[in-house]
């Protein structure tokens, strides 16, 4: 599966539990709604592929928020990958789930190793367009059939609000945004065709969920 040295199993118990991670990020009413909407979209977009995606990569997996959901779709294995050792230790140790600590910018897998690569809530942390291209290329390189990813578009109330709060110094960190035209063009250049690209909450929330398939891959 991998080109580089085999990663060591992550066995040390976490200092913070998956439930604690989840509550700290999705404990508020609005964030619980976002979490529910994301899960609904994942199920809907991947329903036609259920049972046909043998190997799935969840990167970054964090504490495993979507890993078990993806495991329902895979008859073989889901690889949960994250750079944070503290988070990756929280991923559920269930049959068919393989946990690996690795950097998404340097994925240690051979080309086209996975039927599906899922990349949720990563690109809005990346502000540099060249870095965005690099990470899209990393994802595309290891995807044999499909890519499912999220990104933040700049034309939304959410984006305007965040920029306003940063200027007021109510928020320290600016978010990374990508226009749909940019994402589509990059994926096309990498050999993928966009199948669906949906706004989570149109014009209000910045997040979009995109499904693309490799050109020439066998249909489900």
Which one-letter DSSP state was computed for residue 2? B
Per the structure, how many domains does the chain have? 1
| CA pair distance 75, 39, nearest whole angstrom | 19
Instruction: Report phi then psi at 174, rounded to 5.
Output: -80, 150
Q: For residue 75, give the CATH number of its domain.
A: 3.40.50.150
Instruction: Specify if 9 maps to a domain.
Output: no
Residues for the chain: how many in total? 220
Q: Which two tokens stand for residue 213?
A: 């398939």
Position 5 pLDDT exceeds 50:
no
Mean pLDDT of the chain: 88
Instruction: Specify if 12 maps to a domain.
Output: no
69-119 pLDDT, tens digit each: 999 888 899 999 999 999 999 999 899 999 999 999 999 999 999 999 999
Pairing of strands 114-119, 143-152: parallel
Range of the domain at 114: 18-214
Closest CA to 156 of 170, 134, 172, 177: 177
Q: Say if residues 82 and 101 touch (Cβ distance below 8 Å).
A: yes
Instruction: Specify if 11 maps to a domain.
Output: no
Q: How confident is the model at residue 8 (pLDDT cuts 50, 70, 90)?
A: very low
Closest CA to 74 of 113, 37, 46: 46
Report, as an integer, the average pLDDT of 207-215. Answer: 97
Instruction: Specify if 10 maps to a domain.
Output: no
Instruction: Specify if 13 maps to a domain.
Output: no
Instruction: Specify if 98 maps to a domain.
Output: yes
Instruction: Specify if 219 maps to a domain.
Output: no
Position 158 pLDDT exceeds 80:
no
Instruction: Specify if 3 maps to a domain.
Output: no
Q: Can you give the pLDDT at residue 56?
A: 97
pTM of the model: 0.87
């Amino acid at each position: 599966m991998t080109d580089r040295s085999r990663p060591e199993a992550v066995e040390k118990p976490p200092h913070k539990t998956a439930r604690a991670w989840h509550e700290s990020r999705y404990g508020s009413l609005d964030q619980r709604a976002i979490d529910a909407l994301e899960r609904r979209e994942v199920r809907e977009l991947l329903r036609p592929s259920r049972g046909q995606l043998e190997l799935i990569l969840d990167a970054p997996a964090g504490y495993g928020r979507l890993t078990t959901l993806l495991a329902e779709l895979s008859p073989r294995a889901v690889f949960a990958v994250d750079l944070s050792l503290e988070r990756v230790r929280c991923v559920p140790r269930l049959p068919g789930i393989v946990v690996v600590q690795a950097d998404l910018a340097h994925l240690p897998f051979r080309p086209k190793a996975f039927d599906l690569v899922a990349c949720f809530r990563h690109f809005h942390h990346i502000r540099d367009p060249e870095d965005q291209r690099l990470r899209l290329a990393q994802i595309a390189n290891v995807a044999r059939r499909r890519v499912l990813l999220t990104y933040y578009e700049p034309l939304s109330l959410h984006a305007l609000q965040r920029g306003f709060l940063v200027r007021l110094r109510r928020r320290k960190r600016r978010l990374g945004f990508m226009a749909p035209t940019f994402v589509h063009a990059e994926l096309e250049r990498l050999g993928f065709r966009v199948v669906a690209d949906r706004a989570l909450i149109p014009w209000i929330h910045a997040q979009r969920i995109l499904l693309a398939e490799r050109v020439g891959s066998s249909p489900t």
